[in-house]
Structure 1
Amino acid sequence: MLEHLHRMGLRAEHMYLAGAAGIGLSFLSWCLSRRLAYTGIDRADRWGIFVGEWAPAFIALGNGLRGYEQ
């Protein structure tokens, strides 16, 4: 899988950037869900956690690609 991602042009830096963006998006989705949905803090927490789970996956892929690139 990492070889395929590498051949597609994705690099470790791209995955690290996606991980950082995922952290920011998690916070943003929590804030927006809390203020705009009016469904309570529980739903905002679930959105923040759902989006926040993407960041470690992107960072792990970045680590894998970094090892593949070396």
Structure 2
Amino acid sequence: MIALLHRIGLRSAYLQIASIGAIGLCIGLWIRAKTVDQAERGNAERRALFVGLWPPTLWLVGDSLREVE
């Protein structure tokens, strides 16, 4: 799977930048969750936590691609 991603042009730096971007998105969503009313807050916090799971995954796929490069 990693070799296929490399062949189609995906590079490790792209995924590592996406990982850092996902951290920023998570922080932004978390801050936004604090500004919505109480009825919507639970859903907004769950969305921020879900996005918070992306950075480690993206970073590890990027590390795997770096080994192929």
Could you state the TM-score of these two structures normalised by the residue count of structure 1? 0.84
For 2:45 and 2:32, how far apart are their aligned partners in 1? 11
Name which structure has the greater RCO, CA cutoff 8 Å, separation 6+: 2
Identity among equivalent positions (%) equals: 34
Note the C-alpha offset of 1:33: 2.4
Structure 2 unaligned spans of 5+: none
Structure 1 unaligned spans of 5+: none
For 1:24 and 1:8, how far apart are their aligned partners in 2? 27
Q: How many residues align?
A: 68
Q: Which residue of 2 aligns with 1:56?
A: 56
Alignment of 1:19-30 (within 5 A): 19-30=19-30
Deviates more, 1:26-35 or 1:6-15: 26-35
